[in-house]
Amino acid sequence: MAPAKLENVYQLSNLIAQCFVYGNSYKSNTVMVAIIDENAFGWARQNGKEENLAALAKDPDMKKAIQAEIQKFSKENGFNSVETPRDVFVSDQQFSVENDCMTPTFKMKRAGIQAFFQADIDVMYEKIDKILAERDAKAM
Q: Is 34 helix (H, G, I), strand (E, B) or coil?
A: strand
pLDDT reported for residue 57: 96
Quick: pLDDT tens for 72-83: 999 999 999 999
Sheet of 87-91, strand order: 16-23, 30-36, 87-91
Helices 60-76, 3-10: inter-axial angle, 10-degree rounding: 110
Inform me whether the pLDDT recorded for 22 exceeds 80.
yes
* pLDDT score recorded for residue 119: 98
CATH of 3-139 among 3.30.300.30, 3.40.50.620, 3.40.50.720, 3.40.190.10: 3.30.300.30
Q: Is the pLDDT of residue 140 over 80?
A: no
pTM: 0.93
Query: For 25-51, how does the pLDDT look when each residue is reduced to its tens digit (9 = 90+)?
Result: 898 899 999 999 999 999 999 999 999
